[in-house]
């Protein structure tokens, strides 16, 4: 029997707790549905609330344990009222990205039937693209560890934008591999390099490395766009794009814009992949104003759990995890198509528990599920 996959579970702050629990319950059910190996959970305390209580942003040994797991799942971290003396929020997840070199940030952008579509053009109903964000360097390089920013009294602050060949080569190779995978699935698989190469030397370097890697993949269609033009095109003609690869800060901004095109951040799943491990989380914040009120949309977290299972399939070589991921994706798609998923975020009548229960019911429709991991009786 294949051994269970071990998941480092960081629920975090605010609605992160609610959606992480929902996502892991769905992941467990999907694995049982296809007879995939069990998931085992190592919960690690971290976040702003933990910092307020202890003065530390993650429990002792937590970072090490996260790296030892097969994958890391995170709910959401941060509380606006809890900050470092320099005014920045508590963000141990940025340090995890840095420590474990989680360079490939995957942000799927997919439209679902009966979910809000912000663009009137009927082509928006078929949106299915990926923003691939480098997640360890760029303008976030200074943010990953305190002390990297240069502070000159109360007069000036300098942040470092860092682009290295080693990481950028890995990112672009990952991008072309992703394009090949999508092409095999029957999708267009056009890869666009998004940068500001006309102004910044760092971005010209980013594009130069893209071109070097592209030479090894002549069968992949490629394109280029400056980031400001890309922002415009995501509103004007997003259906013409498939995979957009870009620097960290550009990806942070454009992925939120793209999330708005398909309903909102409650649908914004995220995977951050490195050579040794991966971290999975919804891309939204902790929304402490609705914490514990059964109002949060858990679908971004649930879709992130599907990304985690797909990753585990490749990492462990057990295809059943990939089948579990497909089950989750298909149940969510069918749920929207039948108007059975109506999150409050979209003006619907379903809170966190109702959405989660509907997804679980979809998974269990043909094969009874006996949960073997529970969340303190919350569901």
> Which domains does the chain show, CATH number per domain?
1-103+268-379 (3.40.718.10), 117-261 (3.40.718.10)
- Tokens for 269, please give them: 């799943």
Measured in degrees and rounded to the nearest 5, phi and psi for residue 69 equal -75, 165
In angstroms, the CA 60 to CA 97 distance is 18
Whether the CA torsion 145, 147, 151, 153 is positive or negative: it is: positive
User: Taking the chain, what is the end-to-end CA distance rounded to the nearest angstrom?
Assistant: 29
Bridge partners of 6?
A: 40
Global confidence as pTM: 0.92
* pLDDT by residue, tens only, the chain of 379 residues: 468 999 999 999 999 999 999 999 999 999 999 999 999 999 999 999 999 999 999 999 999 999 999 999 999 999 999 998 888 888 899 899 999 999 999 999 999 999 988 899 999 999 999 999 999 999 988 876 655 778 888 899 888 899 999 999 999 999 999 999 999 988 888 999 999 999 999 999 999 999 999 999 999 999 999 999 999 999 999 999 999 999 999 999 999 999 999 988 999 999 999 999 999 999 999 999 998 899 999 999 999 999 999 999 999 999 999 999 999 999 999 999 999 999 999 999 999 999 999 999 999 985 433 333 333 333 2
Whether the CA torsion 195, 198, 204, 210 is positive or negative: it is: positive
């Amino acid at each position: 029997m294949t051994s269970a996959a071990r998941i480092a579970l960081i629920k975090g702050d605010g609605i992160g707790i609610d959606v992480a629990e929902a996502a892991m319950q769905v992941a467990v059910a999907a694995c049982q549905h296809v007879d995939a190996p069990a998931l085992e959970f190592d919960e690690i305390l971290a976040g702003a609330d933990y910092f307020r209580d202890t003065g530390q942003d993650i429990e002792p040994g937590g970072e090490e344990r996260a790296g030892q797991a097969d994958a890391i799942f995170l709910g959401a971290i941060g509380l606006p009222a809890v900050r470092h003396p320099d005014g920045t929020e508590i963000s141990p997840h940025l340090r995890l990205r840095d420590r474990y070199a989680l360079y490939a940030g995957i942000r799927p952008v997919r439209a679902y039937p009966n979910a809000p579509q912000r663009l009137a053009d009927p082509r928006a109903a078929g949106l299915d693209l990926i923003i691939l964000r480098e997640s360890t360097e760029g303008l976030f390089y200074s943010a990953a560890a305190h002390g990297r920013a240069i502070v000159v009294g109360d007069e000036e602050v300098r942040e470092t934008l860092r682009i290295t060949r080693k990481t950028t080569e890995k990112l672009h190779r990952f991008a072309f591999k992703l394009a090949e995978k999508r092409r095999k699935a029957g999708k267009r698989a056009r890869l666009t390099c998004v940068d500001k190469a006309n102004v910044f030397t760092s971005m010209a370097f980013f594009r130069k490395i893209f071109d070097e890697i592209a030479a090894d993949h002549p069968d992949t269609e490629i394109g280029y766009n400056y980031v400001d033009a890309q922002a415009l095109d995501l509103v004007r003609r997003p259906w013409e794009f498939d995979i957009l690869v870009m620097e960290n800060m550009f990806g942070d901004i454009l992925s939120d814009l793209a999330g708005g095109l398909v309903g909102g951040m409650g649908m914004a799943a995220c995977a951050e992949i490195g050579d040794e491990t991966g971290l999975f989380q919804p891309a939204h914040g902790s929304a402490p104003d609705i914490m514990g009120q059964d109002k949060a949309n858990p679908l971004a977290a649930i879709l992130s759990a599907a990304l985690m299972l797909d990753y585990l399939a490749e990492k462990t070589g057990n295809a059943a995890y990939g089948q579990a991921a497909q089950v989750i994706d298909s149940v969510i798609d069918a749920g929207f198509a039948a108007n059975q998923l109506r999150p409050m975020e979209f003006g619907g009548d379903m809170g966190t528990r109702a959405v989660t229960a509907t997804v679980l019911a979809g998974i269990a429709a043909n094969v009874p599920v006996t949960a073997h991991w529970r969340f303190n009786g919350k569901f």
